[in-house]
Amino acid sequence: MLAADCTVRRGSFTLRCRFEVPQGSVLGVVGPSGAGKTTLLDAIAGLVGLAEGWIRVGETIVSSPGVRVALERRGVGLVPQRTALFRHLDVVGNVAFSRRASAEDVEELLRYFGLATLRDRSVGTLSGGQARRVAIARALAARPSVLVFDEPMAGLDHELVDDVAEAIRDSATRCAVVVVDHDLASIARVADTLLVLDDGAQLQIGPASQVQRQPASARVARLLGMVGPFVGRWGEAWAWPSALHLADGPDGPIGAPARVLEPARVVGGRLEQLVSVDGVGSLRAETSWDRPLGQGWVALTDAVVFDQKVRT
């Protein structure tokens, strides 16, 4: 279990957040550059102190003003973006590096993460996905109560992302997990709960599927990658790019006039055309046929609508 209700100050930057992560659960923290993700990661790991509040691992307060338990004693494992494997050691040597790792633990982790056949390999010969699995197994060998990942799928080829995402989900069976990333698509693969940060403020927290379906504000919608605002009598609407469709006219409750800019082409298995919408800009919308260049109409499905008077 990891829980926090804290304020961190670094120079002129202030981060405030509150959350709880039970064992067996994955908290995904998402936000743009400068949102406070790294500061939060450092606070959980004990690399930076708190100005106010507390961080608790299990029943133990590991951080509060004037109190900061060292990383090696706070029950937190850290898997950095750069796996930081020990290149002079083979796979089994890396997994067994922690003084808390028993021989039985090491063998179980090698089997659990599909590394048994790679045990004697030099880590320099591993693929990106294999190296991430070794880093996760090494962190778990120290028996942490909390495991924190810093952009674990960054820079991986598409076919390796599922491999690493599965390893992260597997690690949650042993401890509470926090995954920090700027990319919602990566976070959505693994997170049970989603926390949205921007400029040090916690904008929304809740079940990952609910946050994506019901962002709390236009600001959250924008940060999650929704497009908008489409402004009309209904208010201010935002939608996922996949929910935009070219129509013959206003055939639904939410839509906007658009200018078709390019001929249709197949993108990701669907026929799309580039259009321009006033106040929104250029975007791609699904189309059932190659519509002529010029005026058109974009209909939104599964849109989220905010009152025009509420702009955040």
Q: Across residues 8-32, what is the average pLDDT?
A: 97
116: in domain: yes
What CATH number should be reported for the domain holding residue 273? 2.40.50
Structural domains counted in the chain: 2
* Higher-confidence position of 64 and 301: 64
Contacts of 263 (CB under 8 A, 6+ apart): 273, 290, 293
281: in domain: yes
pLDDT, residue 308, reads 61
Q: Across residues 14-23, what is the average pLDDT?
A: 97
162: in domain: yes
Q: List, edge to edge, every strand of the sheet that includes 193-198.
A: 67-68, 60-64, 52-57, 2-10, 13-21, 201-207, 193-198, 26-30, 176-181, 146-150, 76-79
- For the chain, give the percent of residues with pLDDT over 90: 68
Of the residues 192, 217, 242, which one is the last residue of a structural domain? 217
pLDDT, residue 265, reads 96
Q: Across residues 174-196, what is the average pLDDT?
A: 93
- Using CA atoms, how far apart are residues 101 and 27, in angstroms rounded to an integer? 26
Asked whether residue 285 falls in the same domain as residue 245, the answer is: yes
217 pLDDT more than 60: yes
Asked whether residue 210 falls in the same domain as residue 236, the answer is: no
pLDDT, residue 110, reads 93
Of the residues 186, 217, 248, which one is the last residue of a structural domain? 217
pLDDT, averaged across the chain: 91
Asked whether residue 97 falls in the same domain as residue 187, the answer is: yes
311 pLDDT more than 50: no
Tens-digit pLDDT profile for residues 219-247:
999 999 999 999 888 889 999 999 999 99
pLDDT, residue 310, reads 41
pLDDT, residue 112, reads 85
Asked whether residue 196 falls in the same domain as residue 51, the answer is: yes
Tens-digit pLDDT profile for residues 203-212:
999 999 999 9
* Higher-confidence position of 202 and 140: 202
Contact between 26 and 45 (Cβ < 8 Å): no
4 pLDDT more than 90: yes
Q: Across residues 138-151, what is the average pLDDT?
A: 91
Of the residues 175, 190, 217, which one is the last residue of a structural domain? 217
pLDDT, residue 187, reads 92
Domain of residue 296: give its range.
226-306
312: in domain: no
pLDDT, residue 282, reads 95
6 pLDDT more than 50: yes
pLDDT, residue 307, reads 77
pLDDT-derived band at 31 (thresholds 50, 70, 90) equals very high
Asked whether residue 172 falls in the same domain as residue 238, the answer is: no
pLDDT, residue 275, reads 97
Contact between 191 and 184 (Cβ < 8 Å): no
Please give, one letter per residue, the 3-state secondary structure of the chain: CEEEEEEEEECCEEEEEEEEECCCCEEEEECCCCCCHHHHHHHHHCCCCCCEEEEEECCEEEEECCEECCHHHCCEEEECCCCCCCCCCEHHHHHCCCCCCCHHHHHHHHHHCCCHHHCCCEHHHCCHHHHHHHHHHHHHHCCCCEEEEECCCCCCCHHHHHHHHHHHHHHCCCCEEEEEECCHHHHHCCCCEEEEEECCEEEEEEEHHHHHHCCCCHHHHHHHCCEEEEEECCEEEEECHHHEEEECCCCCCCEEEEEECCCCEEECCEEEEEEEECCCEEEEEECCCCCCCEEEEEEECCCEEECCCCCC
Residue 122, exposed/middle/buried by CB under 10 A (0-12, 13-18, 19+)? Answer: middle
Tokens of 204: 């929304």
pLDDT, residue 8, reads 98
154 pLDDT more than 90: no
Contact between 194 and 225 (Cβ < 8 Å): no
Q: In Å, how far from its chain's centre is CA 42?
A: 17
Asked whether residue 112 falls in the same domain as residue 242, the answer is: no
* Higher-confidence position of 291 and 112: 291
- Using CA atoms, how far apart are residues 83 and 132, in angstroms rounded to an integer? 6
Q: Across residues 31-58, what is the average pLDDT?
A: 96
251 pLDDT more than 70: no
pLDDT-derived band at 128 (thresholds 50, 70, 90) equals confident
8: in domain: yes
104 pLDDT more than 50: yes
pLDDT, residue 80, reads 86
pLDDT, residue 161, reads 84
What CATH number should be reported for the domain holding residue 100? 3.40.50.300
203: in domain: yes
Asked whether residue 100 falls in the same domain as residue 230, the answer is: no
Asked whether residue 238 falls in the same domain as residue 273, the answer is: yes
pLDDT, residue 101, reads 81
34 pLDDT more than 90: yes
